[in-house]
Amino acid sequence: MNSWSEFHIGDVRVRPNIVLAPMSGITDSAFRSIIKDANPGAVGLVVSELISVEGLSRQERKSLRILRSVASEQPLAVQLFGWEPERMAEAARVAADQGAAIIDINCGCPVPKVVKRGGGAELMRQTERLRLALRAVRGAVSVPVTVKIRAGWDDRSRNAVEIARLLEAEGAAMVAIHGRTRKQLYSGQCDWELIQAVKASVRIPVVGSGDIDSAELALRRLEETGVDGVMIGRASLSNPWIFQQVAALRTGRPVRVPTEQEAHALLITLVERLAAQVHPLVALGRARGLVCRMTKGVCGGPALRDAVMRAPSIDTLLALLRSAFVEQVAAVERFAYAPAGDGDALPRRPALLHR
Ligand SMILES: Cc1cc2nc3c(=O)[nH]c(=O)nc-3n(C[C@H](O)[C@H](O)[C@H](O)COP(=O)(O)O)c2cc1C
């Protein structure tokens, strides 16, 4: 591995410099741990989905649940969203006590109910509040504190460089930036030139995020912009092995594309893990979302998604996935043993997860 393939956040080594991005509704312990298992040694850091500071201070089950993790996820960054510096400090203490190696402050969430109260991307407009929040959180914990921002609020206010400088002056240990404004949500172009400008303007590590959908692009973004690391979010859903593909490409090894069976087995294991970890109704809701996102654009996906959305319980959902798997294996076997020269009559090769 080259020396530029790792960096430090405070005293936490991030090796390699490829990070699983925080995704609400997705990056809980089950997803984070399955991504680590599927990509041994190839994910330098995982970040929790955003956790409500208000929820944590009220000891709400949902917030406490998101804090749960297993040892293999380390180093783990726990992301908090809130607006009251004192409450954020208190929540950071709880998260650090529960094993967070890094506390990350969400400064990019675009959701109206979050920004209306002063949290998420609104903190990029309320710079004094952001300064106080970071100060309070840093004062409360001994682990490094990082911040994830956007390009700005809207096109008239692309203040990521100014915010990054403020964060550096206040002792943030790293800044991650998704190169879209709050107004853009997830549409339009991600501005990697702005991410590069942020990197050039501060001395703390900068991690870039946005639209990385292949191993090649991950390495290209690192090289072109000089950022210390990159985050991969949505692509980890359609291709959970993308991290090991980056590692392979980087070291000149062949990029392995897992088989359909492996892809299907991963999805089943993920849902099983979810079912074992959380309340059956929570597991059902989250599993529906995961299956829908992870089977997009695949053969047989629409019918499976339709059935999964109507599944009344997590056990039924798992049974559906398992029987789809059995059918898929049978179809692959038919394909493998079909007589030569009979190409047109072959069943279409099923693919559960496209890559
Ligand atoms: C479903 C979903 C949920 C997200 N939740 C969070 C979150 O909780 N905290 C956060 O900082 N960013 C969140 N993001 C933004 C991602 O971390 C990332 O910056 C963005 O998706 C761009 O990267 P990508 O193109 O690799 O997905 C979310 C994105 C998606 C698609």
Whether residue 245 is found in the same domain as residue 303: no
Omega prior to 258 cis, within 30 of 0: no
Question: Would you say residue 78 lies in a domain?
Answer: yes
Residue 13 has phi, psi (to 5 degrees) of -85, 130
**Measured on CA atoms in the order 332, 338, 340, 345, is the torsion positive or negative?**
negative
CATH of the domain at 20: 3.20.20.70
Whether residue 219 is found in the same domain as residue 129: yes
Whether residue 86 is found in the same domain as residue 120: yes
Mutate to test the pocket of ligand 1, among 111, 124, 178 (most ligand atoms within 8 A of CB): 178
Tokens describing residue 224: 């072109």
Whether residue 187 is found in the same domain as residue 225: yes
Closest to 349 in 3D by CA, of 314, 305, 299: 299
Q: Pick from 221, 250, 279: which residue ends a domain? A: 250
Question: Would you say residue 355 lies in a domain?
Answer: no
Verify whether residue 107 is a known catalytic residue. no
Q: Which domain holds residue 46?
A: 3-250
Closest to 104 in 3D by CA, of 148, 151, 45, 65: 148
- Looking at residue 337, its pLDDT comes to 52
Q: Which residues contact 7 (CB under 8 A, 6 or more apart)?
A: 13, 14, 17, 205, 228, 229
Question: Would you say residue 354 lies in a domain?
Answer: no
Residue nearest to atom 30 of ligand 1 (CA): 23
Whether residue 245 is found in the same domain as residue 304: no
* Digit-coded pLDDT (tens) for 107-128: 999 999 999 999 999 999 999 9
- Looking at residue 59, its pLDDT comes to 82
Question: Would you say residue 353 lies in a domain?
Answer: no
Whether residue 313 is found in the same domain as residue 220: no
Question: Would you say residue 255 lies in a domain?
Answer: no
Question: Would you say residue 266 lies in a domain?
Answer: yes
Residue nearest to atom 25 of ligand 1 (CA): 211
- For the chain, residues with pLDDT lower than 70 are 1-4, 328-355
Name residues contacting ligand 1 (CB within 6 A).
21-26, 49-50, 79, 106, 108-109, 148, 178, 209-212, 232-235
**Count of positions (residues) in the chain:** 355
Whether residue 152 is found in the same domain as residue 300: no
DSSP class of residue 118 equals T
- Looking at residue 259, its pLDDT comes to 85
Whether residue 224 is found in the same domain as residue 268: no
- Looking at residue 35, its pLDDT comes to 98
* Digit-coded pLDDT (tens) for 186-231: 999 999 999 999 999 999 999 999 999 999 999 999 999 999 999 9
Question: Would you say residue 350 lies in a domain?
Answer: no
Q: Residue 237 belongs to what H/E stretch? A: helix 235-238
Q: Residue 245 belongs to what H/E stretch? A: helix 242-250
Q: Pick from 250, 269, 286: which residue ends a domain? A: 250
Whether residue 127 is found in the same domain as residue 190: yes
Q: Pick from 250, 284, 314: which residue ends a domain? A: 250
Question: Would you say residue 148 lies in a domain?
Answer: yes
Whether residue 117 is found in the same domain as residue 202: yes
DSSP class of residue 288 equals H
Mutate to test the pocket of ligand 1, among 19, 20, 24, 48 (most ligand atoms within 8 A of CB): 24
Number of domains into which the chain is organized: 2
Whether residue 61 is found in the same domain as residue 169: yes
Tokens describing residue 173: 């240990």
Whether residue 276 is found in the same domain as residue 188: no
- Looking at residue 335, its pLDDT comes to 55
Closest to 30 in 3D by CA, of 56, 69, 79, 82: 69
